[in-house]
Structure 1
C-alpha cells in the first residue's frame, strides 16, 4: 500500500536515531542561558498578523514575501511566526513583566515558518534558539549577549567561526545615512535589481544586504554607517568594543552588516563561517530599542539574538564534530523463560530509577536474536538471565566492547553496583 502522503516540501523529520544530536546542543544552550541569568519563555506558534507587520517591518522580505498568513473562521488574520523576537516582546508587554524588575532576560526554543525556496541551511520550517533582554541600554548588556553566543559556539566545539559587529545607529543618525545611500545608489538605478529599486526609497539600508553579485559590487563603495553615527551611538559602539576586549572576544567591525529585520538599532552582530557555503550565518542579533514602542508599549531599550539549530548542526557536520550519544542503552537483559522475564522486569525498574537506560525483549525474540538486537542498539552492557542464574541469584554482566564480564548478585544491590560499574567504564573511555 502506498503512503497516503509525505512530508511537506521545505520541512524535515528528526528521527529517533538523530534526536540525541538536537538534545545535546539544546542542553548546552539551556546551560549557558542559565549561566547568564536567562529564563525560558514559551509563546504561541501563531500570532495576529499585525504583530509581525509592525514588529518585523513592512519593508522586509519576511513580511512582503515569506510569511504563512491565513484568515481564521472568525475573520482574523493570523500568521505562523517567522521569527521569535516579536512574539516574546508581545508576551513581555501583555503580561507586564517589567513589574518583576528590569532587565527581563528570556530564552526560547521555537519553530519558525517562512515560505521561501528550500535549500541547504534554509527550510520553510526551521528551529531557533534565542536570548532576549528587555529594559537596558547599557553597552555592557550588548557585550554580555555576544559573550553568551560565543560561549555556546565554543562549547559546541565550532572552529573558524568569526564574529562581525557593526552599529546601525539610532533613528536620528540613520536618517542622514539613509539619504546618503539614496544619493549614492540613485546614480546606479539602471543597474540595480528590481528588489533593490523598490528598497531604494523605503529602506535603502537593505540594499547593502542584497545577494545579487552585481548589486553587491555596487554596494562595495557605498557610504558606511560608521561615518554617520551620532555622538551617543558612536560612544555606545566604542563601549561595546571595550567590553568585548575585556572578555577576550575577537571580532571584526563590518560596516555592511544591517541584519534583515527592521527593528534593529545600534549594535548588530553575526557569527559567520565559510564551511557551509552561502548560508554561513550561524547566529545573528543586536539591539532593538524601538521595538516595544512599535508594539504599543513604552520605550524599553532591548536586545537579543537567534541561532538556527539546523544550520548549527550543518556546521558541526562540516567540521567533523562528533556529538556524544548519551541516550544509548546502558544495559540489555536477555531472558530465557517466564521466571527470567519477571526477574528482568524487576531489575530493569531499579536500574532505570538510577537514571540509566535499560531494555529487555518485548517482541518475543529467541536468545540469539536478543543478543543481535542488543548489539544493534549499541548496548554498553548485556546480561543473560535463565533458570541457572535465577537459581544461583547471580549473573554475569558483559561489557559489549571489551568482552569483560563482571558477576553481580540479583538482589537489591544490583542496580547500585551496576551503576558503579557503568560509571567506571565511562571514565575509562573518557565519556
Structure 2
C-alpha cells in the first residue's frame, strides 16, 4: 500500500502555509488597487474546453492533461491552465453583457499537468492569474504587465527581467507561418518528432522547442517582427511606449512565442535573474488572445492575461533571501488548574474569541508546568492563569511573558482588559 503523496505533489504544512497566506494577501491587495475582481472556476471542465481553448497542437493538450471519463461517459479534464476556464465562464455567464467593460478578473487556482517533476515544477501546481476581457487597447496590455511586475516588486524581488514580443495579428501570423514552413522544411528530418509534427500544425512553436534549441536552423529562423504589418507594428510600439512611461524596463525577444495556441499581438515573460535560482528562470508569462472567446462560442471579444506560478514565486523570494514577515505569536494562552477552573476556562476562551482575541488552552490534561511550556511553544504574549483560588475570588492572573509582569484582573473585565493590552502593544510597535 502506497500511502505517500503522489509524485509531483507536496503537502503544504502550517509553517509554510503562513508564507502562502502572506503572499496571497499581498497579491489580492494589489488586485484591489487595479480594480480586478476574483473569479473561481471548477477544478475540472469538459475536455473540449481545453482542446479548443488551449489548442490541439500544444504539449499541454497532447501530453500533459489529466483526462478521465465520468459515469455518464463524458470526457472531463482536470484544469491544466486558467485562461480557457475563465473564458468559458465569461461566455456561459454572459459577462460580455456587463455594463462595466472590460471585465477584469483574477484567480488563485490549482492546476494539474502530467510532466516530469522538478524543482519549481510540479504536477499539481498553484497559480495566480489575471484575465482582462473586452478591450483591445494596448494600454490594457501595459496595465496587465504592470500588475504582474507590481506583485513581485511589492514582495521585494529585484532580480527580474521582463521579456516581450509581438506575435502580430492574423495576417502577420499567416505570413510568418508560411516563412517558417519554408525555412524548416529542408531540415525536417533533423528535427525532433514533436517539431516534425509542429511543422504542419503550428510551426511557430518550433521556436519554443527545448530539444532543438541548438539546431543551426533556429538561429537563422525568420522573426515574427519581420512580418508585422503596419497595424501590428503600431500596436506593439504603443505597448512599449506605455511601459516606458511607467518606468518598466523590458527586453524585446523575437523568439518569445509562449506555449499556447491562442496568443496574438503582445506576449511576455517575467524571469528571475537571482543567483542560484535554477535553470528554469520563468516566473510568469502571458499575452493577448483576441480569438479565444469566439473559439469557445462567445462573441468577438479581445482578451489578455497571464499566469504566475506561486511555487516559483516563493523560490525567487528564497533565492533573493527575502524574509516573509510571519507573526507566529499567540495573543493569549490560558492555563487552568483543577476541574472547576477547567470548566470556566472553556467559557473564558469562548468569550475572548468572541471579542476578537486570539487564544488557546491545553487539551491534554497537562500539569501547570507543562501548560506553561505549551504557552512558550506557542510564543504566547500573555499567559492567563486560573486556579481554584482565583476562581473562588472571581479573578484571573495575567502574566506578560516579555516583561514577566503579572497582575490580577476580575473575570468580568478580562476581555476588555486584554483588548486594551493587545491594542496598546500594537500601537507601541
- Structure-2-length-normalised TM-score: 0.93
Aligned equivalents of 1:10, 1:240: Cα separation in 2? 37
The 5 Å alignment of 1:77-156 reads: 77-101=75-99, 102-156=101-155
Q: Residue 150 of structure 1 aligns to a residue in which SS?
A: helix
Q: CA deviation at 1:45?
A: 1.0
Q: How far apart in 2 are the matches of 1:170 and 1:406?
A: 73
Deviations 1:202-257 (A, max 9, x none): 21111111112654664233222122111111111111111112222122112211
**239-248 vs 335-344, greater mean Cα deviation:** 335-344
1:46 matched to which residue of 2?
44
Residues in 1 aligned to 2:127 and 2:209: alpha-carbon distance in whole angstroms:
23
Counterparts of 1:141 and 1:242 in 2: how far apart (Å)? 13
* 1-structure distance, mates of 2:220, 2:2: 54
| Structure-1-length-normalised TM-score | 0.92
1:196–1:210 Cα contact (<8 Å) kept:
yes
Q: Unpaired runs of 5+ in structure 2?
A: none
- What are the residue-to-residue correspondences of 1:414-429 with 2, within 5 Å? 414-426=414-426
Residues 325-352 of structure 1: CA deviation (Å, up to 9, x unaligned): 2464221111212333234333323432
Provide closer, same or farther for how the CA distance between residues 404 and 166 of structure 1 changes in structure 2, counting only shifts above 3 A. farther
The alignment partner of 1:379 has SS state of coil
> Which 4+ stretches in 1 moved above 4 angstroms?
426-429
Query: What corresponds to 1:369 in structure 2?
Result: 370
Which residue matches 2:308?
A: 307
SS of equivalent to 2:14: coil
Counterpart residue number, 1:405: 405
Q: In structure 1, what is the equivalent of residue 59 of structure 2? A: 61
C-alpha contact 2:382 2:398 (8 A) present in aligned 1 = no
Residue 250 of structure 1 corresponds to 249
Q: Deviations over 1:387-414 (max 9, x none)?
A: 4444372423223xx3442536234443
Q: Distance in 1 between matches of 2:300 and 2:348?
A: 60
The aligned residue for residue 353 of structure 1 is: 354
Between Structure 1 and Structure 2, how many residues are aligned?
425
1:381 and 2:382 are equivalent in the alignment? yes
Question: How far off its partner does 1:297 sit?
Answer: 1.3
- The aligned runs of 1:173-212 (5 Å cut-off) are 173-212=172-211
Are 1:320 and 2:333 counterparts?
no
Corresponding position of 1:7: 5
Report the Cα distance in structure 1 between the residues aligned to 2:50 and 2:27, rounded to whole angstroms: 26
Distance 1:24 1:229 in 2: 43
CA distance in 1, matches of 2:409, 2:215: 72
1:157 paired to 2:156: yes
Which residue of the partner structure matches residue 271 of structure 1?
270
Change (3 A) 1:24 1:187: same
The separation in 1 between residues aligned to 2:134 and 2:23, in whole angstroms, is 28
1:328·1:357 contact (CA, 8 Å) conserved in 2?
no
Q: For 2:249 and 2:347, locate their aligned partners in 1 and report how far apart those are by CA, in whole Å.
A: 55
Q: Cα distance 1:255–1:413, how it changes in 2: closer, same or farther (>3 A)? A: farther
* Structural mapping, 1:286-305, within 5 Å: 286-305=287-306
Is the contact between residue 385 and residue 396 of structure 2 (CA under 8 Å) also seen in structure 1?
A: no
Cα offsets for 1:24-47 (capped at 9, x unmatched): 111112211122111111111111
Deviation by residue 1:82-108 (Cα, 9 ceiling, x = unmatched): 101111111110111112122111111
How far 1:134 sits from its partner (Å)? 0.7
- Tell me, in whole angstroms, the C-alpha distance in 1 between the residues paired with 2:408 and 2:24: 36
Q: Distance in 1 between matches of 2:174 and 2:398?
A: 76
Offset at residue 199 of structure 1 (A): 1.3
Deviations 1:1-50 (A, max 9, x none): xx762211111111222211111111112211122111111111111111
Gaps of 5+ in 1: none
Structure 1 residue 36 and structure 2 residue 34: aligned? yes
